[in-house]
Amino acid sequence: MSMQPNKRDRTRPAELLGLSAVIAVFVAIIVLVSSRDALLAVIALGATFILSLVIIATMALTVNASPEERVDLDEQDRSQGH
């Protein structure tokens, strides 16, 4: 019996990318308004996107799993032969 991921598990990566994109666009707008240099704003957008994505993903990994999630993970490991 294969367990299909629920909708929340499938959309989690999109949530991380979306939040990082929003933060990056915000920083790029602030840089563009303050410096009037489009190239600097694009650089700030890229750097902020990557940095915020890494930080948010790292923080998401540090969250402890609930007991239900631990049972589900153990069941998945057993079904895959680990």
Model confidence at 62, pLDDT cuts 50, 70, 90, reads confident
Element (H, E) at 54: helix 38-62
Mean pLDDT, residues 12-26: 93
Rounded Cα gap, residues 33 and 73, in angstroms:
47
Collect all residues with Cβ–Cβ distance below 8 Å to 72 and sequence separation of at least 6: 3
Q: Which residue in the block uniquely carries the two structure tokens 């049972």?
A: 71
Mean pLDDT, residues 68-82: 80
- Given a cut of 60, whether residue 2 has pLDDT beyond it is no
- Given a cut of 70, whether residue 22 has pLDDT beyond it is yes
Q: Is the pTM of this model over 0.75?
A: no
